Amino acid sequence: MTLTPLETLLSTSCFIARPTASGYDGVFVQFDGQPSVKLPLLLAAFQYRFARDVEAMTRHLVDGVAIGWAELGTDLLDGAPNEIVTALTDGQQWRSRTLDNVITPDGSPPVRMTVTDQNAAEQDLEWGYVLRPEGIEVISVSHIDASLVVGWDTDPRTLFSNHPAHWSAPTPSPVATITHASQPSRTTRPPAAPRPRTAPRR
* Beta pairing partners, 188: 149
**With contact defined as beta carbons under 8 Å apart, do 166 and 159 qualify?**
no
Q: What is the pTM of this model?
A: 0.80
Confidence check: pLDDT of 200 > 50: no
Q: What mean pLDDT, rounded, does the chain reach?
A: 83
pLDDT in tens, 7-42: 344 579 999 999 999 999 999 999 999 999 999 999
Say if strands 135-140 and 147-151 run parallel, antiparallel, or are unpaired: antiparallel
For residue 167, what pLDDT band results from cuts at 50, 70 and 90? Answer: confident
120 within a domain of the structure (yes/no): yes
Task: State the Cα–Cα distance between residues 24 and 129, nearest whole angstrom.
Answer: 10
Q: State which residues form the domain around 126.
A: 7-188
Percentage of the chain lying above the pLDDT 90 cut: 63
Tell me whether residue 193 is in a domain: no
pLDDT in tens, 81-118: 999 999 999 999 999 999 987 777 777 888 899 999 99
Give start and end residues of each alpha helix (H) in 20-170: 35-44, 54-58, 82-89
Residues 41/57, Cβ–Cβ less than 8 Å: no
Assess if residue 166 is contained within a domain: yes
The answer to the question of residue 51 being in a domain is yes
- Residue 82 three-state SS: helix
Is 198 contained in some domain? no
Query: How many domains does the chain fold into?
Result: 1
- Which pLDDT value is given to residue 187? 53
**Has residue 71 been placed in a domain?**
yes
Give the DSSP per-residue string, 124-149: S-SEEEEEETTEEEEEEGGGTT-EEE
Q: How confident is the model at residue 191 (pLDDT cuts 50, 70, 90)?
A: low
